[in-house]
Amino acid sequence: RFVIEERVPGSYNKEAGGNNFMFELMGVEAITVVPGGTNMGEAMSRVAQEVASLGRKAYVIPGGGSNAIGGLGYVACVQEMQVQWLDMGFSPDAVAVGSGSSGTHGGMVAGFLGNNIKVPLIGIGVSRDPADQEPLVHKEAQAVADLLGIGKVPREAVKSFGGFWQPKYSVPNAKMVEAVQMAARTEGILLDPVYTGKIMAGLIGLARQGPFKPNAKVLFMHTGGPPPRDAYQDVAL
């Protein structure tokens, strides 16, 4: 069962393709749509209790899988990435990653710390600016680190940039459109409007403004996203 937060009022359409097609394909039994700003933990807990009343077991997965167990997936990602760097003889100057619910960013922070990777990890916000985003990422990274037993995560290990996600989460902007078009037309890389498009917009913006030096080797962490892309066909991508 899914609980979906409708952050943009009136945007959910049960007849739409994209994610809804994936929900049906994967056998989702029921979808509960709640208004933006709803306490999602409480909303999911209520659905879990309904499932329990039917004699079944429910495991509540937070948005983005952003808990200590979910963050372990990106620790494994970091380890795999490190092996690939060694095999290729590659050493990036920085790694850029999306920063939203904090599972990806926080998990990678813990992975970089645990594997002694000194490369700067830069988060690009898709829903919040640094003052609000970085404490969430640090909390997630520390939860993962505690699970692994690798000690304290320095606050300075969490670095993010904002200013590329506005006017609102999942709402298109011109920088995102430019980034999606540029990646598709110059590299054949497909990005989505909600996450990777805005992350790439941030990477392009930072390359133009700093902090990257000319010819810096920056690794872009592409986390997928075809279903959201399909739901934005009315946007001039």
Confidence at 14, pLDDT banded by 50, 70, 90: confident
Query: Whole-prediction pTM value?
Result: 0.85
Q: What average pLDDT does the structure give for the chain?
A: 91
Provide the pLDDT for residue 227.
59
Q: Partners of 99 in the beta sheet?
A: 125
CA distance 143 to 124: 21
pLDDT tens digits, one per residue of 69-121: 999 999 999 999 999 999 999 999 999 999 999 999 999 999 999 999 999 99
Q: Position of tokens 């904002």?
A: 162
Provide the pLDDT for residue 104.
96
Per-residue exposure over 50-59, b if at least 16 CB sit within 10 Å of its own CB, e if not: ebeeeeeeee
Lowest mean pLDDT of 15-24, 101-110, 147-156, 183-192, name the range.
Answer: 15-24
